[in-house]
Amino acid sequence: MPTAPRIAIDAMGGDVGPAVILAGAARAHERRDDLQFLMFGDKSLIQAELGKHPKLAPSVEIIHCDDVIAGTEKPSQAIRRAKTTSMGRAIAAVKAGNAHAALSAGNTGAMMAMSKLALRTIQGIDRPALAALLPTLGENDLVMLDLGANTESDAQNLVQFAVMGAAYARVALDLKRPRVQLLNIGTEELKGTDQLKDAAAILREADHLGMRFDGFIEGDKISRGDADVVVTDGFSGNIALKTAEGTARFVTDLLRRAFSSSTRSKIGFLISRPATELLKHHLDPNNHNGAVFLGLNGIVVKSHGSANAKGVANAIRVAARLVREDLTRKIAEDLANIPAHDLNGVAAK
């Protein structure tokens, strides 16, 4: 795979648009000046922002697009305009081989629908999954999927998610055998739905794969650092993610309120400032920005719509690393190592 990744970016996506996207690209380019970008969107707006980053300019090609996918647009509507929108054309650049990865901070549902239609899934994958890195108290972050691409998932889907998540963890977290667990309402083998039990049965026999299946995990243990990959359906995963993000905001707002309540509290804040800054850094979603649509014949990365320049830069770095490490090939190889009769047996139930 290329040592100089070329990334197609929907410059119009997100809450701010080209200003943050270009600033993030410039920040990523400062760390790796071999990065190349195709920027899709309003040419005049992109050029105006690019003028603020002269060092980035030689590495950017602008492709003008008049059409933009709105954040409220339904995926079924967005698909019909895939050939004219900045998001759709960025994804199409990957399909055509003009870019190695696509990135957008726009409408998640539209992005998933367009990506699946244009790139199709890897052989052996029924549905793509949205995966992201989440902070933990352990030595490394964890990969969690699915975070909203599929509201319902059967046992076969969950096994495929586990394989994809483990491959992603080996690349993103430099782990040889990631610890994989299924999100459940308890850790006992008898707990949970039939889909969870069937998926667990297959994964327990998957010693030949590059993972270590450690059974079930409950929601309150996700951030403890005892798992490297947490697998669930998109409905539960999205709720878990939003709950974690809300809790992080609650904690930081509560601390801010407590430290400003009195003069003594303000003095206490000054004393404890190094610790609070560390907490703020750990909980900042921009430090973990860049969710990945796993299971497609191409790399597609979703940036949070409210991400700042640091967050966009992190998402770009995620995309570049997955290109360099050839994640798509690694997932396909792992899927080929699952005995076909295992998945066929589950599908027949």
- Tens digit of each residue's pLDDT (9 = 90 or more) over 32-57: 889 999 999 999 999 999 999 999 99
Give the span between the Cα atoms of 284 and 288, in whole angstroms: 8
Beta pairing, strands 60-64 & 36-41: parallel
Q: Please report, as a single letter, which amino acid is at residue 315.
A: A
Neighbours of 18 (CB within 10 A): 23
- State the number of CA atoms in the 13 A half-sphere of 239 facing the CB: 8
Name the pTM for this structure: 0.83
What is the set of domains in the chain, with CATH numbers? 1-122+296-325 (3.40.718.10), 126-294 (3.40.718.10)
- The strand pairing partners of 61, in sequence order, are 38
Beta pairing, strands 6-10 & 36-41: parallel
- Tens digit of each residue's pLDDT (9 = 90 or more) over 97-111: 999 999 999 888 899
Q: Are 209 and 334 in contact (CB under 8 A)?
A: yes
Kind and range of the H or E run holding 30? helix 18-31
Can you give the pLDDT at residue 72?
A: 85
Can you give the pLDDT at residue 3?
A: 64
Number of residues written out for the chain: 349
Q: Strands of 101-104's sheet, edge to edge?
A: 60-64, 36-41, 6-10, 101-104, 299-302, 291-294, 129-134, 142-145, 229-231, 179-183, 212-217
Average pLDDT in the chain: 85
Share above pLDDT 90 across residues of the chain, in percent, rounded to a whole number: 46
Longest Cα–Cα distance in the chain: 68
- Tens digit of each residue's pLDDT (9 = 90 or more) over 212-267: 999 999 988 988 889 999 999 989 888 888 888 787 777 777 777 776 767 766 66
Can you give the pLDDT at residue 45?
A: 95
Q: Are 269 and 256 in contact (CB under 8 A)?
A: no
Give the span between the Cα atoms of 41 and 39, in whole angstroms: 7
Can you give the pLDDT at residue 265?
A: 65
Closest CA to 222 of 145, 311, 117, 321: 145
Can you give the pLDDT at residue 349?
A: 45
Neighbours of 298 (CB within 10 A): 21
